[in-house]
Each structure stands twice: as C-alpha cells, then as structure tokens.
C-alpha cells in the first residue's frame, strides 16, 4: 500500500535521495525545503512546499498543507540540518552555534511535534531522524555540531517511550562522511575547501544513506530499528580516515 512520506530538507543530498528511494517504491511524497525552486526536480509529481524548520509558522503550514495534499503522514524523514564553520569553543562567536542548534534540534522537534499527534490518531507511523557519527564521537572544531547531533539520541529514545503502544516506530540513521553539499554549507560556499574533506578517500554518497532509511521503513510493523550507524569503509571515526596518497 502506498504510504505518505514527508521529507524535510529535501532539496538536495540525503533528503533528495530519500525522496527518490521512497518514490521508486510507489510512495506519495511531500517535500519541504527553503530552496523550493529545487524541489520539483527531485521527484516528479511530489507535493512541494516551502519549509524553514526554524520558523514555527512555516512548519505548521507545511505539515497542514502536506496532509491536505496527500492524507495522513505515514513516514516522517527528519533530514533538515546543517553544520556551520569549525569554531572552537573558546573562540566562537555564537552565531553559528545558534543556527545549528535551532535547525538541528529545535527544528526537528518543531516538525516532529506537529506530525506525531496525527500519527497516533491514525494508528501509527514511523519517525526517521538523520543523525551523524558526530553524535557519537566529538572532534575539534565541531563541538556544537556534535552536541546538536548527540541531542537527537535521547530525543529519539524519549519519543519511543512516550509513544509506546501507539504503533509508532522511531529510527535514527547516523552516517559518517557523506559526499553531499554538507561541507559546502559548512564552509559557506567554499567549494575548494569542501572538496578537500573527501580528497583521496571513498566517502558514502547520499543514496547509501537513503537505502538505510528505506530498509528501516520497510521492516514489518512489529520491527523497529532503533539506530543504524553507517560508515564508509575508509573511515573508522571522525579522526581516522584512510586516504590514498
């Protein structure tokens, strides 16, 4: 049976790959992002709508419009998120920190709190969170980003407990290095600096992560994959990356 799948941050990278993966299986898609001009090209025929997860009114309108277009939400893929800069704690200004926390933590909470009641009312659903290896291992210059991703772990655990018996599944998919626009965003459009992150190694690509999301969503209703940690073969943790010389 066709599901209604909502994807946030769907204009590129992992979000777009997740949208394409679900669409290939015949699911109905509602896609949200700030860069709305990119959305129609992601999945032909998908419902597309502007979404800024840091804006409560934007989130409310997006969720309501998605339900009006495609019916009750069966799967929510909380993908919207970002890293910004590599400021260390002692020398940071706070601006980038607030942006990351407001997007990665508060934005995810805002979308989820709007969707969960509908899932419970309609007999269940699946909340998928795109986390990161950064939520498991910190690194220099990434303390706040790592903290924002670490916060998602207890949030997911709490949702599981708070919806127990309501047929709601919660899965966190936590990738290591993925070659997307992630580093371009982190380095504020510096393509050359961003590409050096992946130089000489074999990172994951967005489709690798989307396959994990789809696998979790396609398990039988009584099976919940709490956490999937997926890493490139060439990466052991944020510090240990094999690179060809």
Residues marked active site are found at: 145
Rounded CA Rg of the chain: 17
| CA terminus-to-terminus distance, the chain | 49
Q: What strands, in cross-sheet order, belong to the sheet with 125-130? A: 47-50, 28-33, 4-8, 75-78, 125-130, 168-175, 227-230
- Residue 172 bridge partners (DSSP): 129, 227
Cα–chain center distance at 52? 14
Helix axes 13-24, 206-217, angle to 10 degrees: 50
Q: Please state the φ and ψ torsions of residue 108, each to the nearest 5 degrees.
A: -60, -40
Which residues are CB-contacts of 54 (< 8 A; sequence separation ≥ 6)? Answer: 102, 103, 106, 107, 110
């Amino acid at each position: 049976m066709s599901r209604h799948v909502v994807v946030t941050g769907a204009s590129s990278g992992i979000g777009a790959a997740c949208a394409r993966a679900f669409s290939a299986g015949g699911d109905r898609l509602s896609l949200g992002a700030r860069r709305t001009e990119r959305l129609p090209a992601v999945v032909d025929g998908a419902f597309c709508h502007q979404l800024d997860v840091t804006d409560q009114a934007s989130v409310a309108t997006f969720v309501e419009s998605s339900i009006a277009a495609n019916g009750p939400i069966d799967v929510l893929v909380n993908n919207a998120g970002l890293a910004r800069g590599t400021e260390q704690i002692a020398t940071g200004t706070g601006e980038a920190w607030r942006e990351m926390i407001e997007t990665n933590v508060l934005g995810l909470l805002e979308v989820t709190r709007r969707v969960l009641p509908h899932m419970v009312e309609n007999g269940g659903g699946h909340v998928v969170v795109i986390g990161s290896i950064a939520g498991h291992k910190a690194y220099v210059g990434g303390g706040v980003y790592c903290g924002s991703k670490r916060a998602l772990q207890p949030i997911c655990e709490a949702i599981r407990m708070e919806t127990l018996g309501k047929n709601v599944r919660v899965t966190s998919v936590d990738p290591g290095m993925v070659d997307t626009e992630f580093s371009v965003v982190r380095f504020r459009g510096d393509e050359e600096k961003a590409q050096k992150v992946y130089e000489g190694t074999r990172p994951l690509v967005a489709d690798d992560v989307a396959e994990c999301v789809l696998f979790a969503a396609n398990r039988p209703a009584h099976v919940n994959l709490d956490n999937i940690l997926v890493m490139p073969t060439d990466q052991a943790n944020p510090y240990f990356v094999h690179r060809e010389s």
